[in-house]
Amino acid sequence: MSEEGEVTGEFEREPVSDRALLGAGKFWGMYAGEHAAGTEFMIGPLFLAAGASLQNLILGLLLGNFLAVLTWRFLVTPIAIAKRLTLYYQLERIAGGSLVKFYNLVNGLLFCFLAGAMVTVSASAVGIPFGIMYEVPEATFGFGAPSFTVLVAIVGIVMAIIAAAGYEMVARVANIAAPWMISIFAACGIVSLVQMDATSLSVIRDGKFWSDAIAFVQAENLVNGNANADFGFWKCVIFAWLCNAAMHFGMADLSIFRFARNPSSGWAPAIGMFLGHYMAWIAAGLLLAAQIKLSQDTSANPGALAWGALGWTGIICVVIAGWTTANPTIYRAGLAFQGILPGSSRATMTLIAGAVATIAGAFPNLSNQLLGFVGTYGTVLGPMGAVIFVDFYLIKRFGLQEEYAAHRGVKINVAVLVAWLLPVSVGLYLIFAKEFYAAYAVVPCWVACGVIYLALSKFTQKPISL
Amino acid sequence: MMNQQILKIVSLCALAATIVPSLLFFLGLIGQNAVTVAALIGTFVWFAATPLWMGHEPEIDDKEVQI
């Protein structure tokens, strides 16, 4: 078996061996193709729709992405290299197998929502040649046009069947498409600038084309009786920093960096951040600004936006971006569901995950709330990373047992359960009941989770006889 | 090996066809129609040529979810 084949199929429940370690170049190459995904087609326009100024976007995303890279480098990579275990196996050793299954189930349900948004994105592009338009209803759980709902169902079923067959084929398409997709994002942004007559440095620096688009959106909101959102500099910073909180603060990317030969590999997400979460977001935002200027249409329909800039290539890009993002998401959700019902087949569970994602995709308003969802996703999953952080750096210093569940043989470590659910419950209450900006909740929940885990461990850990 | 090099050059040209015309459009040298046609041709050539040389082995992050 080749080196790459080994790394994907082995070491699920053991440290990665020295012979399977990879150099930093491998990680730079890999991350170059990451984070330019279907979500970018939704997130970029949503920044404009939320009223983020161009200056705040350019500077805020710059700082936020830099903070994200620092988090990967200095939070995730040292633990990944020291332990060389997957997130799930590390959590199992600390929290217990049953609790990890529950965490995985929550993860899977959130993945279904994310995949649903990608089904919507892909359907928005598939519908363009057939004149089927993506329209966002007022109600969160309102359907779009019947023809669009049928299209979502068809796209979702096809994606679920492909995901049930495994991740390999689509992963290969995703790897092949990655450089092309980045190029298409850039081309979309450049064409949009020309469509707005922003063809000189002074006009681009002035940014009037962007502020005009925001003014148009806000005027339309007033006419429709909707409140205008306030999306300032720090919201841009925190969103860019924490939209991948599940991967860095939540330590999901331990599963990737456990293969790193040296810590310098931890800088590699920089290329993904600045191509996907900087260039691609801004380019996608420019698509909406151009559409507003050309047709006074404020709907963030990814398919129509890409069509307006690059025609058929834009359509193909949105479909592939949505599909290649949804596929691993549905696949992972299927694995999570299978973990709850060990006797079930992975294919069946993947189809169920695909069905849930398709139902979520039928509600266009859900994908339109992707900015909030991504923050909520980090708030729910991120804190588990604090448990790993405390267990790795602090727990022995307080005279406590690391990897308590593995040593004690417990299925649920109550200290972890409470430390995770308590701050997350408070965070979700603030987000949903008090309309707190979701990404702001991530770090407080992370810190609270770590502190509670440490404090409760002091009271709940029983001596282990060796 | 020689064929691989040629295929990589073809892929590179295809990639260029998706981005360079937009820059020419920006400079006012060509129209948007030419950009969309070049991008479509570049797309087909990229997906025809690149699978022939790009590695078939799965990457370590292929099963991971990215946003």
**d(Cα A309, Cα A293) in Å, to the nearest integer?**
13
Reading the block at residue A10, the tokens are 């082995």
**d(Cα A104, Cα A178) in Å, to the nearest integer?**
28
The DSSP output letter for A440 is: G
Closest chain A C-alpha to B4 CA, distance in angstroms: 15
In terms of DSSP H, where are the helices of A33-86? 38-49, 54-71, 77-83
Taking an 8 Å cut-off on Cβ atoms, the answer to whether B66 and A310 are in contact is no
List chain A residues with CB under 8 Å of B60.
4, 7-8, 22, 30, 255-256, 259
CA angle, A10 then A16 then A20, to 5°? 80
Residues 6+ apart with CB under 8 A from A422: A448, A449, A452
Taking an 8 Å cut-off on Cβ atoms, the answer to whether A310 and B35 are in contact is yes
DSSP helix/strand/coil, A34? coil
Given a cut of 90, whether residue B1 has pLDDT beyond it is: no
Closest chain B C-alpha to A9 CA, distance in angstroms: 9
**d(Cα A122, Cα A47) in Å, to the nearest integer?**
20
Pick B26's closest partner by Cβ from A167, A180, A199.
Answer: A199
Taking an 8 Å cut-off on Cβ atoms, the answer to whether A174 and B51 are in contact is no
pLDDT on residue A128: 92
Q: Is residue A378 a contact partner of residue A246, using CB atoms and an 8 Å limit?
A: yes
Taking an 8 Å cut-off on Cβ atoms, the answer to whether A114 and B65 are in contact is yes
**d(Cα A182, Cα A275) in Å, to the nearest integer?**
7
List chain A residues with CB under 8 Å of B65.
111, 114, 252, 328-329, 332
Amino acid at A218: Q
Pick A191's closest partner by Cβ from B35, B40, B50.
Answer: B35
ipTM: 0.95
Taking an 8 Å cut-off on Cβ atoms, the answer to whether B62 and A175 are in contact is yes
Question: Which residues is A22 bridged to in the sheet?
Answer: A260
Q: Is B22 on the interface with A (CB under 8 A)?
A: yes
**d(Cα B16, Cα B49) in Å, to the nearest integer?**
14
Taking an 8 Å cut-off on Cβ atoms, the answer to whether B54 and A176 are in contact is yes
**d(Cα A352, Cα A337) in Å, to the nearest integer?**
9
Q: Is residue A285 a contact partner of residue A192, using CB atoms and an 8 Å limit?
A: no
For A153, counting Cβ atoms within 10 Å of its Cβ (0-12 exposed, 13-18 middle, 19+ buried), the class is middle
CB pairs under 8 A between A and B: 134
Taking an 8 Å cut-off on Cβ atoms, the answer to whether B67 and A310 are in contact is no
pLDDT on residue A10: 67
Q: Is B61 on the interface with A (CB under 8 A)?
A: yes
Closest chain B C-alpha to A465 CA, distance in angstroms: 38
Closest chain A C-alpha to B24 CA, distance in angstroms: 10
Closest chain A C-alpha to B18 CA, distance in angstroms: 6
Closest residue in chain B to residue A197, using alpha carbons only: B26
Taking an 8 Å cut-off on Cβ atoms, the answer to whether A180 and B15 are in contact is yes
Backbone angles phi, psi at A263, to 5 degrees: -65, -20
**d(Cα A299, Cα A370) in Å, to the nearest integer?**
14
The distance from CA A384 to its chain's CA centroid, rounded to whole angstroms, is 16
**d(Cα A464, Cα B64) in Å, to the nearest integer?**
35
Closest chain B C-alpha to A370 CA, distance in angstroms: 11
Query: DSSP string spanning A163-202?
Result: HHT-SHHHHHHHHHHHHHHHHHHHHHHHHHHHHTT--SHH
The DSSP output letter for A84 is: -
Reading the block at residue B56, the tokens are 């078939």
Q: Is B40 on the interface with A (CB under 8 A)?
A: yes
List chain B residues with CB under 8 Å of A34.
61, 66
Report the residue of A4, A113, A180 to disrupt the B interface, i.e. the one with the largest count of B CBs within 10 Å: A180
For B10, counting Cβ atoms within 10 Å of its Cβ (0-12 exposed, 13-18 middle, 19+ buried), the class is middle
For A204, counting Cβ atoms within 10 Å of its Cβ (0-12 exposed, 13-18 middle, 19+ buried), the class is middle
List chain B residues with CB under 8 Å of A312.
36, 40
Q: Is B20 on the interface with A (CB under 8 A)?
A: no
**d(Cα A333, Cα A350) in Å, to the nearest integer?**
7
pLDDT on residue A13: 85
DSSP helix/strand/coil, A1? coil
Taking an 8 Å cut-off on Cβ atoms, the answer to whether B58 and A35 are in contact is no
Q: Is B2 on the interface with A (CB under 8 A)?
A: no
The DSSP output letter for A344 is: S
First to last CA, chain A: 39
Residues of chain A with pLDDT under 50: 1-8
Closest residue in chain A to residue B52, using alpha carbons only: A176
pLDDT on residue A7: 42
Taking an 8 Å cut-off on Cβ atoms, the answer to whether A328 and B63 are in contact is yes
Q: Is the pTM of this model over 0.90?
A: yes
**Residue that is written with structure tokens 């491998």 in the block:** A26
Pick B51's closest partner by Cβ from A7, A176, A374.
Answer: A176
List chain A residues with CB under 8 Å of B55.
4, 175
Taking an 8 Å cut-off on Cβ atoms, the answer to whether A186 and B32 are in contact is no
**d(Cα A386, Cα A392) in Å, to the nearest integer?**
10
Taking an 8 Å cut-off on Cβ atoms, the answer to whether B63 and A4 are in contact is no
Q: Is B35 on the interface with A (CB under 8 A)?
A: yes
Question: Which residues is A260 bridged to in the sheet?
Answer: A22
In Å, what is the CA distance from A193 to each residue of A197, A210, A311? Answer: 6, 10, 16
